[in-house]
Structure 1
Amino acid sequence: MACLKAVPLRLRAVTTSKKAAETSSKSTQNVFERLPTEILVKILSHLDASALFSISHITKLFHQLASNKNLRVTWELTVTDKAGRESTLELSWSQFSETSLTLCWCGGDCLPNYEQISSLQLHGVRRFALSRPSLKKPGRRSLMENLDMRSLTKSTQVIGQDQLVQLKLLQPGIIIGLWRDQGSVAFIMFTLHFYKLVERSTQGSSDCSHVEPVIQPPFDDIDSEYGLHGYQLHIVLHNTVCKFMSESFSQLFCRRAHISDGFIMLTAISRTNASQHIQLSGSITMPWRCEALEGAVENCCIMSLTLLDEFRQPFICISSPVSVELEKVDVSYDYDGEHYLIHYKDSDIQVKMQLAKMKKRQTVISLIVNVSVCIVNKHFSRGY
């Protein structure tokens, strides 16, 4: 009888424990919900990338950010033509992913032709609460991007197209969709990494961007490989609807003797190690929608990359559309299908991701990140 009585007691203990955990969780959420907006903004502005990864799973909090209920943050795009005329557009739609935010403004009749655009300005706008909801809320504007189209002409590239639109990548994170039969602007899309997103969206002025203070890691004059090890990489491939890949890689390193051509090489996935290869979920495409029309551009997606240093501090954060190009390679006995390459590069970093396609499934067979020696030296006060 004693054993029979003990069973329900244990069940009640487990149930009580679960209820206590749920109550504690709800209590914690309620504490955050009761915080004044200013304090919540300040808390979010100090989160690093790893913390944002964790908090991104708290759907309610990010839903509140997306719907501007608590933070009342939105984003505006100002387009200036060559005659000096300005058009300020309110956001058409936004999409939060695991580590980035995609913003889109549809053209309609408000935008000049692509060839007539002189500059683009992206502002984060913090709306003020008013006693009368019918009144248009004023806001404090924070400049996030100020792009001169003339300086971007040489680096602009077409990364994909379908029957209706052509996608032009202006610089990392910015796409202009053009109607193929007219050449006029269908939409303008910005992709922003989560790191310090709230701070960048709220802490600048209407004319100046927020300047992030530089925090140097502790200097180490003993470790000859200091700055070449202990990296953690988190990379996500996604589009505006779904996610194809989300992976983290820790303890990435490069030997000092292996520094080559001004870059340190961090190998996350080795082509020769089949156990590291990762199968993608779904076929890579970039869906778009503009007013009453929609479509999907094949072999194009968004790459969100976060590289943390050995102190788990954000080192390089990127979120940008990328194209998937057919690659000519030697015969592979492990993967006999077509091979593709995703190649991203800027002054600080180069990312090469090789994909193999078999039976309509794509597998990542190699992922190499090359980091500029200059940025490593600057960050760690080294002289490689």
Structure 2
Amino acid sequence: MATGIGGFLRRLRQGHVKDEETKLREAQEGETVRAEGARRRRDRNSPSTYLQPEPCTTLSECEQYGRGSSENYFERLPSEIILKICSFLDASTLFNISFVNKRFHDLANSNALWSVLYASQFEKKKWRPRGGVMTEAVSSTSVEEKPAGYWKKLLLKEMAGYTDTMWKTELRHMNPHTGMPALTEHVLRRLHIQWEITLINKNGRESVYEHTHTFFEGSSVTVYWNRGGWPFMSSLNGLQLHGIMCPARPASGDKPRWRSLIHTTSLTKSVHWSFLGADELVKLLRFNNGIIVGVWRGNWKIAFVMINLHFHKLIERSLLGSPFCTYIPMEDTALDSDRGRHGYTLHIVLHNPLHRIMCQRFSPLYISRVPYQGDYVQLIAIDLADVLQHRPVAKISVPWEAEGFQGDVERCCMMTLTVLDEAQRPFWCVSSPVRMSNKLRVLDLEHAGEQFGIVYEDVEGKVRMTFVWMEDLQQCFLVQLITAFPAAKVKRRFGGES
């Protein structure tokens, strides 16, 4: 009994001693924690803390943080996730991201994405592909069997609105007078092709304008813009012209519209532009690619824009280019080098956005060397010395309309010139604004009167025209027309010696 009680008391005493030791140890640890906390509070309040930041706990954590801050997490995503994100994009955006890198190019050309876009376009009933083609689009087995990019090419082809049996066949019929496809205007209207300009300011901001109206003549079309809020010329950096195919009845679900870049023009002061003409309200500035920009006198704010487009490859340029690159046609080559020596045809039209001023066709014409310029050959359509060849012309001017005002700028117009070879294929095509300037009398002519000249020149050739104003008849006559182009152009086109 005593042993049991004694043993119990000993165990009780030992437990009490352990409790005391535990309390003492916990008290010491608490003091240590409180002291460490007080020290940290003092360090935080000390100015030296800002100069000596507390080091990282481990070097590996710092290295991992540094690597993570500069890593492209999007590249670490699985391809399935990126494809899911791309499935929410439209055709135009999906086409653009394919230029980011090789991985994006492969993913953005996935048949799974483009087959869905093709099927969704069919549901809008904008056009109806063949039933067999549509059945292929909704079949997953067919999608996997097609080569990469198959459905992308098919959709873009349908969005561009062309097939080998449609307008390409229609454009084979040539107008014997102009040498251009006879149904160009018909095809442009049937496909609802329109043109829009994009003005880019110096900050990179873009403003898009749809054309107001068009003027068709036998071998070109003049496109006119005079609506919208126009900027000042000093704020602009460039101009882009795109061709678009619009639906006959636009709806909210018709986008995206395919945009085909036709050309890009810089509008900065460093680029050479020429003064075309002026009246009491506006000045006309001539840029390359057949562009006329009308600005208000005094403040140089844009009033309107006019662009003359030659029919040669116009439908291809308006449909088959990309939003960023122009369509590049294949250059024709002749088999017979003798065709470069004879049998040319020249068709020239002077016109403005309202009416035709002059239209003449000259054939056949034979090339000859330009005196004192051995690297050029020329075609003389109207000889200055032959009075029988002289042609009367109507008043040369450019009418305009903008913001409720109207005007007429004299002594300037549009020139559309087409040179055809012996096989009646286009050899040189020009659509550009031109200006009449006073010139000294070149020769004593039977027509006595004030003389004017029109000179056009680019890297492909030159055009020189001479006019005489007959005061007694109140009529202007074209007394000279010469077209010249580099001899190397003939040799490059036909081969052999020019």
The alignment's TM-score, normalised by the length of structure 1, stands at: 0.80
Whether 1:246 aligns to 2:366 is no
Label 1:256 to 1:165 Cα distance change in 2 as closer, same or farther (>3 A).
Answer: closer
* Equivalence for 1:162: 279
* Equivalence for 1:374: 488
Label 1:42 to 1:168 Cα distance change in 2 as closer, same or farther (>3 A).
Answer: same
Q: What is the CA-CA distance between 1:54 and the residue it aligns to? A: 7.2
Q: What are the Cα deviations for residues 337-382 of structure 1, in whole angstroms up to 9, with x where unaligned?
A: 1111011111111101111110320111111111111211211123
Q: 2:225 aligns with which of 105, 109, 119?
A: 105
Q: What are the Cα deviations for residues 180-201 of structure 1, in whole angstroms up to 9, with x where unaligned?
A: 0221111111110011111111
Label 1:148 to 1:123 Cα distance change in 2 as closer, same or farther (>3 A).
Answer: same
Which structure ranks higher in relative contact order (CA pairs < 8 Å, sequence separation ≥ 6)? Answer: 1
* Equivalence for 1:334: 446
Label 1:291 to 1:46 Cα distance change in 2 as closer, same or farther (>3 A).
Answer: farther
Q: List aligned pairs for 1:244-323, cutoff 5 A.
A: 244-255=357-368, 260-280=373-393, 282-323=394-435
* Equivalence for 1:141: 259
Q: Which ranges of structure 1 fall in alignment gaps of 5 or more residues? A: 1-35
Label 1:164 to 1:266 Cα distance change in 2 as closer, same or farther (>3 A).
Answer: same
Label 1:242 to 1:372 Cα distance change in 2 as closer, same or farther (>3 A).
Answer: same
* Inter-partner Cα distance in structure 1 for 2:414 and 2:214: 14
* Inter-partner Cα distance in structure 1 for 2:167 and 2:365: 33
Label 1:266 to 1:310 Cα distance change in 2 as closer, same or farther (>3 A).
Answer: same
Q: 1:121 aligns with which of 235, 240, 249?
A: 240
* Inter-partner Cα distance in structure 1 for 2:262 and 2:173: 18
Label 1:108 to 1:42 Cα distance change in 2 as closer, same or farther (>3 A).
Answer: same
The alignment yields a C-alpha RMSD, in angstroms, of 2.5
Q: What are the Cα deviations for residues 213-235 of structure 1, in whole angstroms up to 9, with x where unaligned?
A: 12211043xx5xx5132110000
* Inter-partner Cα distance in structure 2 for 1:248 and 1:71: 30
Label 1:330 to 1:90 Cα distance change in 2 as closer, same or farther (>3 A).
Answer: closer
The residue type paired with residue 235 of structure 2 is: Q
Q: Which ranges of structure 2 fall in alignment gaps of 5 or more residues? A: 1-160
Higher helix share: 2
The alignment's TM-score, normalised by the length of structure 2, stands at: 0.63
* Inter-partner Cα distance in structure 2 for 1:51 and 1:140: 33
* Inter-partner Cα distance in structure 2 for 1:136 and 1:288: 36
Query: Which deviates the most, 253-262 or 325-334?
Result: 253-262
Q: Which has the larger radius of gyration?
A: 2
Q: 2:167 aligns with which of 41, 55, 60?
A: 41
Higher strand share: 1
Say which SS state the counterpart of residue 310 (structure 1) adopts.
coil
* Inter-partner Cα distance in structure 1 for 2:443 and 2:496: 41
Say which SS state the counterpart of residue 468 (structure 2) adopts.
strand
* Inter-partner Cα distance in structure 1 for 2:456 and 2:175: 20
Q: What are the Cα deviations for residues 108-167 of structure 1, in whole angstroms up to 9, with x where unaligned?
A: 42x32111111111110012467xx543643211110112334x8443000100111100
**Which 4+ stretches in 1 moved above 6 angstroms?**
none
